Amino acid sequence: MGPAERPPAVPLNLVGDYGGGGMLLALGVVAALYEAQRSGQGQVVDAAIADGAAVLMAAQYGLQAKGFWHNERESNFLDGSAHFYGNYLCADGRFLSVGAIEPQFYRLLLEKCGVTDPHFAKQWERAEWPALREKLAALFLQKSRDAWCELLEGSDACVAPVLSMAEAPAHPHNRARGIFVAQGGVVQPAPAPRFDRTPSELPPAAPPIGRDSREILRWLGRSDEAIDALVAAGVVHGAPS
């Protein structure tokens, strides 16, 4: 991932911690419970982050085995090399994402953008990708991101705005599906996946730090004087009087 001329900026910790770790473990536990209902037996679920990150690369390893994937960054059709799959700067300094891989979507993208240059017929000729990317880059610089979205969104041209975290909750699609919710003034993703019979609910907000400290310490047998001393020494954080 990332540009060819510098090390990649891997997106947060989504691949390892969340995708390869938490999601893999959650899937493993659900699968084990499903199997246990039928066999009546339990089993250990071994879900390592290294395993999960590798599993997420299964498609790329398959492409590599067929000679369709290369080790160099920015040399593959899904890593920013192909002109039909990547992000483009627009006239207002914001970005538009393009993912028109399939020929019918690619044709529609060109049609709606008014592109008639026969050069673009060479969609899968790797040697032509740099030149075609330059042409598309010049095209998308002619309008603002939102102007391109007005023209292309809602079609099968496979185009969407690159949204900031602040913009994403206000996008019409996200609002229509209720993808984000605001609880107690905190904007966050809504629970997913969704279930029609047993819908998920947001967990309650985390308590303020120290809200229950005194109660817990009293339950542990500490006197009020001892608790006051712990608070004064900074051992117990934020415990209200």
Final residue before a domain boundary, out of 126, 161, 196: 161
pLDDT for the residue numbered 119: 98
Q: Where are the beta strands (DSSP E) in the chain?
A: 85-89, 95-99, 159-161, 180-183, 186-189
Residue type, 195: F
Is 7 inside a domain boundary? no
pLDDT for the residue numbered 10: 66
17 in active site:
yes
Calculate the dihedral angle through the C-alpha atoms of 24, 25, 30, 31, rounding to the nearest 10 degrees. 60
Final residue before a domain boundary, out of 145, 161, 177: 161
Same domain (yes/no): 89, 154: yes
pLDDT tens, position by position, 203-212: 888 888 888 9
Report phi then psi at 23, rounded to 5: -65, -40
Among candidate residues 93, 162, 88, 96, the one with its CA nearest the CA of residue 132: 88
- DSSP 3-state assignment of 83? coil
| Active-site option among 17, 51, 146, 228 | 17
Residue type, 181: V
Final residue before a domain boundary, out of 146, 161, 176: 161
Same domain (yes/no): 89, 157: yes
Structural domain of 214: 208-241
- Contact of 45 with 28, CB cutoff 8 Å: yes
Is 95 inside a domain boundary? yes
CATH of the domain at 92: 3.30.1540.10
How many domains would you assign to the chain?
A: 3
Report phi then psi at 159, rounded to 5: -130, 140
Among candidate residues 126, 14, 6, 133, the one with its CA nearest the CA of residue 70: 126
Is 101 inside a domain boundary? yes
Same domain (yes/no): 95, 46: no
pLDDT for the residue numbered 80: 84
Same domain (yes/no): 105, 49: no
4 or 219, greater pLDDT: 219
- DSSP 3-state assignment of 97? strand
pLDDT tens, position by position, 48-79: 999 999 999 999 999 999 999 998 888 899 98
228: Cβ contacts below 8 Å, ≥ 6 apart: none
91: Cβ contacts below 8 Å, ≥ 6 apart: 141, 142, 143, 144, 147
pLDDT tens, position by position, 93-146: 999 999 999 999 999 999 999 999 999 999 999 999 999 999 999 999 999 999
Mean pLDDT of 163-188: 93
| 95-99/159-161 β-pairing | antiparallel
pLDDT tens, position by position, 211-241: 899 999 999 999 999 999 999 999 998 666 6
Same domain (yes/no): 58, 97: no
pLDDT for the residue numbered 180: 96
Is 146 inside a domain boundary? yes
Same domain (yes/no): 26, 57: yes
pLDDT band at 4 (very low <50, low <70, confident <90, very high): confident
Mean pLDDT of 73-94: 92
80 or 140, greater pLDDT: 140
Classify residue 133 by burial, with Cβ atoms within 10 Å: 0-12, 13-18, 19+: middle
pLDDT for the residue numbered 52: 94
pLDDT surpasses 80 at 12 = no
Same domain (yes/no): 110, 56: no
Q: Where are the beta strands (DSSP E) in 100-221?
A: 159-161, 180-183, 186-189
pTM, entire model? 0.79
pLDDT surpasses 90 at 2 = no
Same domain (yes/no): 37, 103: no
122 or 15, greater pLDDT: 122
Stretch among 11-25, 117-131, 160-174 having the lowest mean pLDDT: 11-25
pLDDT for the residue numbered 185: 87
- Contact of 90 with 57, CB cutoff 8 Å: no
